[in-house]
C-alpha cells in the first residue's frame, strides 16, 4: 500500500484483488460444508449475505477499511473451518 495515503490507488486495489477473490471463494466453499448444520434455505441465505458483503466491499476505496474487510473475512473463514457460523452472517 502507498505510504501516507488514506485512499486506495489502482495499484493497491490490484494488489488486493487476488487475496479478496480467494477469501470470497473459500468462504462460499466453507458454507457448503456438510458439517455446518444448516438447511438448504439457510445455506443459500448465508451465501447471499456473503456475496452482498463482498459486493459492498468491492466499492470501498479507503485503505484502512479494505484491510478491515480482509481481516474480517479471514476471521470469518477461520470460524467456518471450525464449523462455527460467524456472528455477522448468523
Long-range contacts of 19-24 (CB under 8 A, 24+ apart): 19/70, 20/54, 20/57, 20/58, 20/69, 20/70, 20/73, 23/70, 23/73, 23/74, 23/77, 24/50, 24/54, 24/73
Q: Which residues pair with 7 in a beta bridge?
A: 62
Tens of pLDDT, residue by residue over 8-41, are 777 777 788 888 889 999 999 999 999 998 999 9
pTM comes to 0.80
| Residue 6 in domain | no
Tens of pLDDT, residue by residue over 36-87, are 989 999 999 999 999 998 888 888 888 888 888 899 899 999 999 999 887 7
Contacts of 9 (CB under 8 A, 6+ apart): 2
- Total structural domains within the chain: 1
| Residue 61 in domain | yes
User: In which domain, by residue range, is 72 found?
Assistant: 12-82
| Residue 45 in domain | yes
Amino acid at each position: 500500500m502507498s505510504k501516507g495515503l488514506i485512499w486506495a490507488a489502482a495499484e493497491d486495489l490490484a494488489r488486493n484483488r487476488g487475496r479478496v477473490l480467494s477469501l470470497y471463494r473459500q468462504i462460499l466453499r466453507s458454507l457448503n460444508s456438510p458439517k455446518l448444520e444448516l438447511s438448504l434455505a439457510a445455506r443459500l441465505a448465508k451465501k447471499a449475505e456473503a456475496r452482498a458483503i463482498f459486493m459492498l466491499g468491492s466499492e470501498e476505496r479507503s485503505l484502512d477499511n479494505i484491510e478491515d474487510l480482509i481481516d474480517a473475512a479471514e476471521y470469518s473463514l477461520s470460524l467456518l473451518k471450525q464449523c462455527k457460523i460467524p456472528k455477522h452472517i448468523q
